[in-house]
Amino acid sequence: MSIGYEEAARLIAVASSVVVTWGTYAQVWQMWKTRSVRDISSSLIWLSSVNEVTWLNYGFAIHEWPLMLVGLANLPACVLAIWAELKFRSHSQPHEPHEPHQPEPAQESGQGSRDEGPSRRA
């Protein structure tokens, strides 16, 4: 029994969607567990949610079960992510800016520094 290209592509898309769904729920779990959204951008949360609703709508429009299934599976994660964004964003502290790395001062070795160029002996 062999499957056609279209069915194989559909199965691969479903498998990859399972991986993405797993990652989405893992991120949402982390947001709620830490009560922080400071390590994820607001735009990612909102645009991912719009993307998911759009694909869900498209799946229903063309009666494509994999799109509907994935959209319905991801919808609760999107709702929880938006809820966490609204609930925890105001409580999250902004990241502290990192201090620029300052090189260690060169130690005196008595042989001159690199900036002086090669030493000349007479």
**78-102: pLDDT as tens digits:** 999 999 999 998 765 555 554 555 6
Give Rg (Cα) of the chain: 27
pLDDT at position 11: 87
Percentage of the chain surpassing pLDDT 70? Answer: 74
47, amino acid identity: L
pLDDT at position 82: 95
pLDDT at position 62: 94
CA–CA gap between residue 5 and residue 53 (Å, rounded): 27
Domain ranges of the chain: 40-91
pLDDT at position 84: 95
Cβ contact 108:65 at 8 Å: no
Q: Which long-range contacts does 86-95 make (Cβ < 8 Å, 24+ apart)?
A: 88/31, 88/35, 88/36, 88/37, 89/37, 89/42, 91/35, 91/36, 92/36, 92/37, 92/38, 93/38, 94/38, 95/38
CA–CA gap between residue 114 and residue 112 (Å, rounded): 7
CA–CA gap between residue 68 and residue 119 (Å, rounded): 75
pTM: predicted TM-score of the whole model, two decimal places? 0.66
pLDDT at position 37: 92
